[in-house]
Amino acid sequence: MLNIPVLVLNQSYEPLTICRARRAIVLVYQGKAEMLENGVGFVHTISNSFELPSVIRLAYMVKRPYRQKKLTRYEVFNRDKYTCQYCGKETRQLTLDHVIPRYRSGQHTWENVVSACVPCNRRKAGRTPQEAGMKLLRKPTRPSDNLLFSIPYHYRQRRDEWQKYLPQ
């Protein structure tokens, strides 16, 4: 119950990160944050009862540097929304595929790496999509450096109460 995810907003209501309910309760109790959305229930102690927050806003502004996203498996899957870029199957069992194979001088860059399910990756093998008779759903591009880099795609889809705080 204390491990449910909680959306943390900056003082200006921009999404910062996700923390666990336990940490969010401590921040609210210490006056460092305010609860904007109630979660799924309560946590009871001997003398008190605390609401489980779903969204909190920090009482102070946190300035964080803007960084470019690193090319990692997690970020590629997040960019592609955990969907195979060849067949369109949404799954958690994905692999990375180089559109132009590495042995053919294909680079390990955002524009050459896509998510692929295991059967599609095997079918494509060491060929280009045209040679394998496969078509990409979307051309791979570098993701925008917006503030949602720390909020995983599956959280954005599952938590309805977060939608009004997240840019579309």
Express each pLDDT in 47-62 by its tens digit: 988 889 999 999 999 8
Q: 3-class SS at 101?
A: coil
* Structural domains of the chain sorted by starting position, each given as residue range(s) with its CATH number in brackets: 5-65 (no CATH), 73-132 (1.10.30.50)
**Per-residue pLDDT tens over the stretch 69-128:** 889 998 899 889 899 999 999 998 999 999 999 999 999 999 999 999 999 999 999 999
33, 58 contact by CB (below 8 A)? yes
Q: Where are the alpha helices (DSSP H) in the chain?
A: 21-29, 73-79, 118-124, 129-132, 153-158
pTM of the model: 0.62
Q: Which residues pair with 37 in a beta bridge?
A: 55
On the 0-12 / 13-18 / 19+ scale of CB atoms within 10 A, 147 is middle
- Quickly state the pLDDT bin for 139 (edges 50, 70, 90): very high
